[in-house]
Structure 1
């Protein structure tokens, strides 16, 4: 008898275009090997392999392998659901008439988690491409994190000579209201470029947050300029009674399994590691990324040279008509201030170090740049950490729309 197709396996079949009962290989053959980063979640890899075995018709082996996984991680509810559906399917029955409405809702949430994990497995190859959100990483950033809110995925990248290299990725939960936070209490996860501000261990946290949390600096300067409110956006773990949560179940935080969180935390530098939260990752070739990097760096260098040359007119041309400074000055007030200051300058030297460039998600042709700035003149000197938001204008030029010394 051909086993009935449980909803979970039917879902996998639909994504792959297969047919249950007509496996693509013999039951004794191995599932196709997949290339995974070395830090990828072992539990997820094993679960996806089980679903692949079931798709190929090898129910007995799938159930045996899944039983081992459940013994090791009894709180992995999705694995338990798959196990139950496989047992019922092997018996040639359907589980649907056996469950009530409340159980069906919990099951649907787990199926949504399964779909997210399976979709990623089917479309995970990057073929050497890089996320266009990371244009350049300064040497101080050993790693960077990209949270793909649309596809419930957190990516960890290593910094290789300023270029991101994929190290690992993990399934994630986002806010129950979806992505794009605007206001306090909207249960949405923000879209933007942030950094980790501190680490909280499990002794400092309620059980909801699992083994730890990494708060980020939402709202940043751009969020505040856009009128966005709210606080307490963290990347954190899950209660020890569960392994993972459904795709949209947090109050706005990004949530991953505890073992994944621990792997991630080990590679985070508090106060430094960038966290980009975006609705979908646009994977581009290194050549495409280099084009943006070259354009933005050229604009920044011209801005710096104009400042050093005390060419105030050329310097101010790099500030957009809608520019706002961190002191709240608009373009006119900022221009008046700079003209007054520069009138007293005989020489200016501006050095830039630790330059990072991030394409800002959710904004049209905008990048966020951060760098250490050393300023020297005949009557003043300073060393500051600077953040600027550059946007490409309709005339094709990059201009600064927001600037501050702490973000």
Structure 2
């Protein structure tokens, strides 16, 4: 049967009208989507100066293979590999809090500046992909120094964003990189160990100056240890700040406590190993493994010294200690473990 030519023309006319209507409706949408995609442009990575080292990384122990440094001024996250002198391993553009400056309180949309350590990691389905991408690593904000300054807030992460989001959008305070970058970085992060130091503007120094800083800080630590082992109480306590607090004791009570232990033990031996030294402005964290031995007790654990430069001299603000799995003690009783992780009756 032959098709009616008039009906055929009407049918084609309707098809053309439908196509034109679809084009008029969809073309602007597609054009807008293309325009949005074209506008997404990441900050240009500003590679740290060749042959220089961030002052903030004063020393990395053999157990700390890598350290992260965020330079807000350069909008760059750099990864530094542990070596005789730390060396630049990689650098990536990064986003941060949408408001400039150091974080002070919850909801100020600023990225905190200081010395932090990665704690946990989250992946799908526990993350909102549109906000945090494929993966996030939590940081221990607020740290000890932040708490001293009454800073508030939490949930500061290193996380990713999808390619449809801009690295210029500004975060609520987190450090942000691309999905492909965080997948590269995950292999270099050891939870509870790898540090990340965030600064408004990082000071990069030549190897000779870095070595001088390294020597000076290690010498200070060795002299503190020597004063402790020799039971020279006045010399030992001179390393502590007037604002010192630890285990519920201030400096006066700490001195009395140490005096009692000096009288109790015939000898004290202390060995320090695997030392990390990190710096942020006048703040320092000394982290090391400590072997302690006296004629009545011995233990092995990880110690943090929170130190501040006061009038050009380093002073200890606090100590934290926790037993490591291989710790051995001659004491038959089970010691009380405080919130800090340190044993209540621990002589160290």
Q: Which has the higher strand share?
A: 2
Name the residue aligned to 2:244: 323
Q: Which has the higher helix share?
A: 1
Name the residue aligned to 2:279: 359
Q: CA deviation at 1:236?
A: 0.4
Q: Is the 8 A contact 1:222 1:402 kept in 2?
A: no
Q: Is the 8 A contact 1:296 1:398 kept in 2?
A: no
* Larger radius of gyration between Structure 1 and Structure 2: 2
Name the residue aligned to 1:233: 156
Name the residue aligned to 2:319: 403
Q: 212, 231, 235: which one pairs with 1:291? A: 212
Name the residue aligned to 1:222: 145
Name the residue aligned to 1:55: none
CA distance in 1 between partners of 2:290 and 2:81 (Å): 25
Name the residue aligned to 1:149: 72
Q: 339, 356, 360: which one pairs with 2:259? A: 339
Q: 134, 158, 169: which one pairs with 1:211? A: 134
CA distance in 1 between partners of 2:128 and 2:70 (Å): 24
Q: CA deviation at 1:76?
A: 10
Q: 383, 389, 395: which one pairs with 2:300? A: 383
Q: CA deviation at 1:342?
A: 2.0
Matched, 1:165 2:87: yes
Go from structure 1 to structure 2 and tell me whether the alpha carbon gap of 1:393 and 1:241 turns closer, same or farther (over 3 Å shift).
closer
Q: Is the 8 A contact 1:189 1:253 kept in 2?
A: yes
CA distance in 2 between partners of 1:231 and 1:143 (Å): 24
Matched, 1:311 2:232: yes
Q: Secondary structure at the match of 2:216?
A: helix
CA distance in 1 between partners of 2:201 and 2:60 (Å): 20
Q: Secondary structure at the match of 2:170?
A: strand
CA distance in 2 between partners of 1:319 and 1:168 (Å): 38
Q: CA deviation at 1:125?
A: 5.5
Q: What TM-score, normalized to structure 1?
A: 0.67
Name the residue aligned to 2:122: 200
Unaligned runs of 5+ in 2: 1-32, 323-339, 341-348
CA distance in 2 between partners of 1:290 and 1:170 (Å): 26
Q: Is the 8 A contact 2:114 2:198 kept in 1?
A: yes
CA distance in 2 between partners of 1:320 and 1:392 (Å): 10
Q: Is the 8 A contact 1:150 1:179 kept in 2?
A: no
Q: CA deviation at 1:306?
A: 1.0
1:203-243 deviation line (CA, Å, top 9, x unaligned): 2211211010011111112211221121111000003533x
What is the aligned residue count? 290
Q: Is the 8 A contact 2:37 2:164 kept in 1?
A: no
CA distance in 2 between partners of 1:215 and 1:399 (Å): 29
Q: Is the 8 A contact 2:103 2:113 kept in 1?
A: yes
CA distance in 1 between partners of 2:36 and 2:260 (Å): 65
